[in-house]
Homo-oligomer: A and B are copies of this chain.
Amino acid sequence: MSSSTKASDAKKAVTLLDVATRAGVDRSVVSRVLSDDPRLSIRDETRARVLAAVRELDYRPNALARSLRTRRADTYGLLIPDFGNPVYASIIQGAEAAAIARDCVLMTGSVGAGPAQAAHHLDVIGRGRVDGLLLAGDHTAGASLEELDRRGIPWLLVNRRLPRARRWVVLDDEEAAGLAVRHLIGLGHERIAHVAGPRDADTARRRMRGWRTAMRAAGLSTPASAAVVSDYTPEGGAAATRELLTRRDRPTAILVANIAAAIGTLAVCGELGVSVPGELSVVAVHDLALAAFLRPALTTVRTPLEKLGERAIELLASTAPDAPIEEVVTGSLELVDRGSTAPPRGAAA
């Protein structure tokens, strides 16, 4: 296995010249055969010889040399807040698949460990290693965008928008929230509270709007006190839920803006002895396999996160660097009813 015949035999990679020599042609011929150059006319016999040599030597073109010459790295970058966040895991998977489909490579970095780590990623990216960069989530300091523009590196915001940056792709967060609210209204709820996302998060604003719009469409009120800000963590969801449940006019249902926060909501309900869904219905945005194993199993709105990642790569790869991109990935929203929602107590059957 790892025991080579000699410690000294650092394997030299097979090069174009090796293949050419073996096939008895020039390097340029091998290159053009492999890239299917349409302007190359070559005898079938010669081509066969070339391909045989390629196969026999198991030749792979050196990606670095090729990139240096073609000025394309065939690599895309993806910056995320944190690998531990399952929402971004799905986005990565979609982006990875799309990159592979284009014969490219995806380089994913996280900035969770702080600004030094973010700076490192930005620095690396300035060295010609990527053809474009996806910026997913709420970590993108404005400065980076200017720097990327200065260096001529195309970028695209994913799952967030910025007023001054007209290149983004997002989910239909408003509709996702609306779908959840209409489900609750359909069950007979009227006092539907909202555990919202962070104040500066674009997704949070859009889900909040979806909640408000759906409520108003049904003639229900959305007092400021019915929405409590939280971050997208169990801790945050727990604190926000605790606040909602200690109010006088307790809601009969809660829309939680994010599934991680909803885990905190369920925990607090258990702790306070509030039965779900008996006394309180709970529904969250984003679906995870985990949701089926919470107690009670959590009703969610499934969102096309993988599709978001895929689409982001496609847009980045196929659009001029200075063209505006403002796309909402639609469809595929689905309410997954797992039993944490039910008609409010005392509702007419």
Contact = CB atoms under 8 A, between A and B. Distances in A.
A317 to B, nearest CB: 16
A267 interface: yes
B289 A266 contact: no
B238 A264 contact: no
A96 B68 contact: no
A290 to B, nearest CB: 6
Interface string A127-161: 11100000000000000011001111001000000
Contact of A164 (B1, B10, B234, B266): B1
A222 interface: no
Contact of A84 (B1, B89, B107, B126): B89
Nearest to A238: B293
Contact of A151 (B13, B100, B270, B294): B13
B84 A90 contact: yes
A2 B132 CA distance: 13
Interface string A102-115: 00011111101100
Contacts of A1: 145-146, 149, 164-167
A117 B106 CA distance: 12
Contacts of A117: 96-97, 100
A64 B67 contact: yes
B93 A84 contact: yes
A9 B186 CA distance: 55
Contacts of A60: 123, 126-128
A278 interface: no
A123 to B, nearest CB: 7
A292 B96 contact: no
**Interface bracket on A:** 35 or more
Nearest to A148: B2
A127 B58 CA distance: 11
Interface string A298-329: 00000000000000000000001111100000
A3 interface: yes
A199 interface: no
Contacts of A22: none
Contacts of A126: 60
B93 A113 contact: yes
A4 to B, nearest CB: 5
Interface in A33-68: 58, 60-65, 67-68
Contact of A295 (B149, B289, B292, B295): B295
Contact of A63 (B10, B96, B106, B127): B127
A24 interface: no
A112 B58 CA distance: 26
A85 to B, nearest CB: 8
A89 B83 contact: yes
Given A113-B97, A129-B64, A322 B152 contact: no
A273 to B, nearest CB: 12
Contacts of A146: 1
Interface string A260-292: 000110110010000000000000000001101
5 contacts: A2-B324, A13-B151, A106-B109, A234-B290, A235-B289
